[in-house]
Amino acid sequence: MPSVVTANRLIDGIVVYLASDGGWTEEICRARVAETEDEVKALEAEAAKDVAARKVVAVYPMDVAVSDGTVDPLSVRERIRAAHRTTLTKDWYDVPL
């Protein structure tokens, strides 16, 4: 199962993903995708350094589906996190009922 590593940024708590360039991105489409267990472990080890460096907190890997270069979280929870939005917006039903 393809995975990405996610966390919350320490300073403001915003949802971020470990990116291809080694930094953290708010956009899941720019997240680095791990295809094997070893690759996931490598991403987690990299993320752990940034926990120690006080960039992020609450790091964990999550399952995604990759097709045509887009990265989509599988669970409802992760779809909501990736959207960075909630039902505050009146017409928001990106994550449909």
Is residue 10 a contact point for another protein (CB under 8 A)? yes
What is the closest distance, in whole angstroms, from the C-beta atom of residue 52 to another protein in the complex?
8
Residues 6+ apart with CB under 8 A from 71: 2, 4, 28, 29, 31, 33, 64, 65
Residues 6 or more apart in contact with residue 95 via CB below 8 angstroms: 76, 79, 80, 83
User: Which residues ranging from 74 to 93 are in contact with another protein (CB under 8 A)?
Assistant: 74-77, 80-81, 84, 86-88, 90, 93
Of 30-38, 41-49, 53-61, 64-72, which part binds another protein (CB under 8 A)?
A: 53-61
Nearer to another protein (CB atom), residue 11 or residue 20: 11
